[in-house]
Chain A
Amino acid sequence: MKNHIVLFAALISFGINTFLQAQKKSDINAVAYVQKIVKIVEQRNSDKEVWAGAKIATPLPDGGQVKTGAKSLAIVKFLEGSLLRVRENSILNIYGKKEGKKVISNTYIDKGAVQFEVQKQGDDEFRFTTPTAVAAIRGTDGLIFCDTTVTRVYLENGELYIESTTDPTKNGKIVGGEKISVDQDGNIVVAALTDEDKIIIDKAKLQTTKKIIIKTAHGDVEVEYYTSDQK
């Protein structure tokens, strides 16, 4: 009997201890997570139909999506340290896998603008895919924006290789200080960044918000929103 009591106590103790020590284990195998959100940011995993409101620290699995609304911003960070600032009215699809020591990250942007700071590490690959182009980048930062007809990339540093999705024989390479555009017909145009382009890149890095307070008879309503106009 005494042995049973000791065993029972030990099991209880082990159980409590395990409960106290246990960290919550998510079913998600994250390739990225949401680091910051401003206003309306939603996310869904590949097996879900419905968009759900994203929270800070939401893990994003392979196939996860992030959507930003008007005057909104999401910062997504990948596990190898690369960072994307998803601007307003954008949809970002996230893909990632590990092959040995190599981390392969890919994103698909339906529309919108994403400012990127991609880490350079070993043989890692980071790709942006849009309706009109595929861009491979390493150790690079800049701005990519696209819609169904054209993709534009402004590159601050590093190198970027891009090819048309409609005609992969049409491709181009740019270095820091240059910009490139690829349209739906595979036409590629390379040019140097202008001062205005640099201002656009700088504004895309901003992640501060503004607030408006609407005074009503029932009290003040505070609305926080993102804007690249900081005046």
Chain B
Amino acid sequence: MKKFLLIFFLIALLNVCVVAQVSNYVSEVKAGTAKEKTPITITAELISTENISEVFIAYKAFGETEFLKMEMLIVGNTASAAIPKEIALPPYIEYYLIINLKSGEQQTYPMGIDEGVNPLQISVAGVSQKEKEILVLSPSENETLSQDEQLISVSFVRAPESVDVAKTKFYLNGINVSELAVIAGDLIVLAGENIPVDFDGSARNLLIEVYDREGNLYHTINRKFIVVTAEVAAAIESQWKLFGNLRGESRSENLNRLNTWYNNASANFNASGSGLQVSAYGYVTSEEKSDKQPFNRYSASLDAGDWLSIKAGDSYPRFPNLIMEGKRLRGFSGALNLGFFNFQAAFGETARDVEGNILRKYTAKDVILGSDIIKINDLNTPYAKVKLGTYKRKIFVVRPSFGSGENFQLGFSSLYGKDEVNSIKYGARPQENIVIGSDLMLAFDEKNIMLTSQAAISFLNKDISSGSLTNAQIDSIFGPGSSFDVDPEKVKEYRDYIDKFITVNQYLGPWNPQELASFGAEAALSLNYLNNNIKASYIYRGNDFHSFGQSFLRTDVRGINIVDRIRMLDNKLFISLGYEDLQDNLQNTKIATTKFRTVSASVSLFPRADFPNITVGYNRFSNSNGIVVTNPKEGKYAIDDQTNRILVQLSYDFSAGIKHSSSVSFTKSDREDNGAANSDAQFNNLSLNLNSFWDKDLMSVFGFVYSSSEISNIPFNYFTFTAGGRYRMLENKLTLTATLSPSFGNFNRQAFEFVADYSVLKNLNLAFQTRLYRFPGKSTNSILGLITRFTI
């Protein structure tokens, strides 16, 4: 093992690799535990938040066609989001952040995703089959039990013959309590009165070790639960469970000699009981300004089991992704699931009205053309160049569906959205949108065969400011001898009918519905047999498909995607293969059709033993539109590039005197661009992290990043060291955390962070946070903050 450790660190230290992860707005991104079918929490520490309007996370599973996007919740200088459990699939997921700035610009983290920089990856470990074989019937995770009702019960009814039930060992807070166990066939129970109660505190960590007949460790299970007195347990059980916290923060940021104070407060409240769950959340910040989109957030929700859910305030309703996904809505949303019939609806505002302002006025004689030139109510200067405002946009979405979703569900969705024309004075091109769609899910054999499909068609009016066509306008445009030889009366008849749904004028599209320009559809068949999970899907999205419920949907694309995830050795080994073949120019709106081909392969090993988790991945992206770059006429449109990307990730928890948790990540990508852009690029990145747990109070952190990139022959190289630690003192009342991270090379910065978190009372904490960023020869920026947390 020592030899292996040596090799492990040599690999870490000798590789010379790269990828630029410099950002003006994100100092650090952390990912929570990544386990199959479990939501993965991503948090980003933000800097210069006064310039940030919103942060989105883009994420996708291995081999998927496109990144899904979701807005992150910003609280203070932390943005967070949970990647849904459906996406959390082995071998890894990829993600990056999209930071929208108040100036209207956009930046990604890591920077330069659009230029081909690699997104971040998290290895996702698979669920062991053994977790289905050995069932801990009691306690459930985080269950609260009274002292006299303590019960540990484990069922081996599904365990294989090779398991020796009698050899099972139980450890409670590290103490072997196996002798208390009673074996009754396939059941082991540890009864209440025998289980020791003389532990410090009420938290219990249960470790169960299961052995095979040869005495080898077969499986381990960890479970946490809480033991309280009978009176407390009765009170918890009989009453509504209440939980809440209040948080207040005052923070000063000094960036480039500009000092800004931020104040914010948030409150979170949850109550559950009698099958109901009520939640409320509020966040108010000094960043809230009427001339920006909202920064404050508030919401309240009521859930009654799986059958009823009602939300008010800010929420992110999820409908079929062609209709609505990842979009914040301020209003109401809810779902009623009755099994055979279900109904889901959302109504509210996705953008609030923000008034524009006049930059310069023009007379009718001097006015110039421009998208930001509008007519204003001024006799002498009736035109003006303006900073365009944002119309208030409201949407209404409904989806009735039939079938519980267990084996069958057929849904019909409809979205109607409209900008309120009179919500602002200085704006241009308010829009209106209708999307109608249907989705179907069929599953057989315990969902081992699953067919999912959806289709939708959209209608978009790109400027409703002038309303529907008048009779006079129709008479002047249509009829014999006019621009269109169509009976004007027929046109009026159609207008009156369609006008009930959407404004009818020259800006209403699509104009070429027969070419399926505003049609979107996808279908996928997945088969889960013989340890193979194969999913084959087809996607079609016309170039004119628009939904107000989606901000980021890729359009003008069609093609196939095939992914096979092969599980071996009880989900310890994953081999994943993917192939994608897409093309654009579906409605011949481009000079040539570009084909996008991606080949992906990955091998992941999660040994669940004294050996590192290893993921090795390879991707090849090929894009070509068939135009030869030397073509004198069309060569400037030539697309012909190939990118090869290799990913190696190792993580390993080991003991060498003390416990350590380490990870090494290496990514290399190389793009050869033979097209007109000639944008060859190379990215290499190596990062190493080592967390050492010296004792229960002291933990140290060591990190190293080497990054190098070269885009169009312009190199950018740097390396960063990180050293720091966390120390608990005063009987765990005070926690001190400090980190120093100097960067050298083309990115020259020294970063220092210090946090002191003091528990004044059991439910009241004060935290002082300071961050210093020194750019040698330029400036020193600082962030100082005081945070108060109160839990009820």
| A23 touches which of B157, B183, B339, B340 (Cβ 8 Å) | B183
From A46-54, A144-152, A204-212, give the one contacting chain B.
A204-212
Nearest B residue to A77 by beta-carbon distance? B137
Interface centre among A21, A24, A30, A208 (most CB of B within 10 A): A30
| B151 touches which of A20, A56, A176 (Cβ 8 Å) | A56
Nearest B residue to A206 by beta-carbon distance? B274
What residues of A have a CB within 8 angstroms of the CB of B191 in the complex? 55-57
Nearest A residue to B138 by beta-carbon distance? A35
B336-347 contact mask (Cβ, 8 Å, vs A): 1 or 0: 001110000000
Contact flag A24-B149 (CB < 8 Å), given A35-B138, A81-B137, A175-B340: no
Q: CA A24 – CA B153 in complex, angstroms?
A: 14
Contact, CB under 8 Å: A29 / B184? yes
- With an 8 A cutoff between CB atoms, is A59 at the interface? yes
| A25 touches which of B183, B186, B189, B339 (Cβ 8 Å) | B183
Report B230-251 residues with CB < 8 Å from chain A CB.
234, 237-238
Contact, CB under 8 Å: B179 / A80? no
Interface centre among A23, A33, A230 (most CB of B within 10 A): A23
Contact flag A23-B153 (CB < 8 Å), given A176-B404, A208-B234: no
| B182 touches which of A23, A177, A230 (Cβ 8 Å) | A23
Contact, CB under 8 Å: A175 / B179? no
Q: CA A122 – CA B157 in complex, angstroms?
A: 13
- With an 8 A cutoff between CB atoms, is A2 at the interface? no
Contact, CB under 8 Å: B155 / A36? no
Report A178-214 residues with CB < 8 Å from chain B CB.
202, 205-209
| A176 touches which of B168, B183, B187, B339 (Cβ 8 Å) | B339
Q: CA A181 – CA B185 in complex, angstroms?
A: 37
Category for how many chain A residues contact B: 35 or more
B150-175 contact mask (Cβ, 8 Å, vs A): 1 or 0: 01010111100000001010000000
Q: CA A29 – CA B157 in complex, angstroms?
A: 11
- With an 8 A cutoff between CB atoms, is B695 at the interface? no
- With an 8 A cutoff between CB atoms, is B120 at the interface? no
Contact, CB under 8 Å: A25 / B234? no
| A20 touches which of B179, B181, B234, B339 (Cβ 8 Å) | B179
What residues of B have a CB within 8 angstroms of the CB of A216 in the complex? none
- With an 8 A cutoff between CB atoms, is B188 at the interface? yes
- With an 8 A cutoff between CB atoms, is A28 at the interface? yes
Q: CA A199 – CA B701 in complex, angstroms?
A: 54
A26-45 contact mask (Cβ, 8 Å, vs B): 1 or 0: 10111101011000000000
What residues of A have a CB within 8 angstroms of the CB of B275 in the complex? 202, 205
What residues of A have a CB within 8 angstroms of the CB of B406 in the complex? 139, 158
What residues of B have a CB within 8 angstroms of the CB of A157 in the complex? 306, 339, 404
- With an 8 A cutoff between CB atoms, is B560 at the interface? no
- With an 8 A cutoff between CB atoms, is B178 at the interface? yes
Contact flag A23-B138 (CB < 8 Å), given A29-B185, A30-B184, A175-B339: no
Contact, CB under 8 Å: B158 / A23? no
- With an 8 A cutoff between CB atoms, is A103 at the interface? yes
Q: CA A30 – CA B154 in complex, angstroms?
A: 12
- With an 8 A cutoff between CB atoms, is B703 at the interface? no
B interface: dominant SS: mixed
| B189 touches which of A29, A33, A98, A158 (Cβ 8 Å) | A33
Contact, CB under 8 Å: A177 / B179? no
Contact, CB under 8 Å: A208 / B306? no
Report B253-301 residues with CB < 8 Å from chain A CB.
274-275
What residues of B have a CB within 8 angstroms of the CB of A202 in the complex? 274-275
Contact, CB under 8 Å: B178 / A23? yes
- With an 8 A cutoff between CB atoms, is A101 at the interface? yes
Q: CA A25 – CA B192 in complex, angstroms?
A: 17
B170-209 contact mask (Cβ, 8 Å, vs A): 1 or 0: 0000000011011111111111100000000000000000
What residues of B have a CB within 8 angstroms of the CB of A175 in the complex? 339-340, 404
What residues of A have a CB within 8 angstroms of the CB of B306 in the complex? 157
Contact flag A103-B157 (CB < 8 Å), given A23-B179, A57-B189, A79-B186: yes
| A77 touches which of B138, B181, B190, B238 (Cβ 8 Å) | B138
Q: How far is the CB of A79 from chain B (nearest CB, A)?
A: 4
B110-154 contact mask (Cβ, 8 Å, vs A): 1 or 0: 000000000000000000000000010110000000000101010
| A177 touches which of B137, B151, B155, B339 (Cβ 8 Å) | B339
- With an 8 A cutoff between CB atoms, is A22 at the interface? yes
Nearest A residue to B168 by beta-carbon distance? A23
Contact, CB under 8 Å: B151 / A57? yes
Q: CA A231 – CA B158 in complex, angstroms?
A: 42
Contact, CB under 8 Å: A79 / B155? yes
Q: CA A230 – CA B274 in complex, angstroms?
A: 10
Contact flag A59-B182 (CB < 8 Å), given A177-B338, A205-B275, A207-B237: yes
Contact, CB under 8 Å: A23 / B187? no
Contact, CB under 8 Å: B158 / A80? yes
Contact, CB under 8 Å: B237 / A23? no
Contact flag A24-B185 (CB < 8 Å), given A55-B191, A57-B153: no
Q: How far is the CB of B403 from chain A (nearest CB, A)?
A: 10
Interface centre among B151, B156, B181 (most CB of A within 10 A): B151
Q: CA A206 – CA B156 in complex, angstroms?
A: 29
Q: CA A176 – CA B336 in complex, angstroms?
A: 13
Contact flag A80-B182 (CB < 8 Å), given A36-B149, A177-B338, A177-B340: no
Q: CA A59 – CA B186 in complex, angstroms?
A: 10
Report B605-659 residues with CB < 8 Å from chain A CB.
none
B316-353 contact mask (Cβ, 8 Å, vs A): 1 or 0: 00000000000000000000001110000000000000
What residues of B have a CB within 8 angstroms of the CB of A25 in the complex? 166, 182-183
Q: CA A202 – CA B274 in complex, angstroms?
A: 7
Q: How far is the CB of B205 from chain A (nearest CB, A)?
A: 20
What residues of B have a CB within 8 angstroms of the CB of A56 in the complex? 149, 151, 191-192
Interface centre among A21, A56, A77, A122 (most CB of B within 10 A): A56
Q: CA A209 – CA B235 in complex, angstroms?
A: 10
Contact, CB under 8 Å: B179 / A21? yes
Nearest B residue to A24 by beta-carbon distance? B182
Q: How far is the CB of A203 from chain B (nearest CB, A)?
A: 9
What residues of A have a CB within 8 angstroms of the CB of B155 in the complex? 79-81
Q: How far is the CB of B162 from chain A (nearest CB, A)?
A: 14
Q: List 12 A-B contacts (CB under 8 A).
A: A23-B168, A23-B181, A23-B183, A24-B182, A25-B166, A29-B185, A30-B186, A57-B189, A79-B155, A81-B155, A175-B339, A208-B238
* Top 8 closest pairs, chain A to chain B, by CB: A29-B185, A59-B184, A30-B184, A79-B157, A176-B339, A208-B238, A30-B187, A57-B191
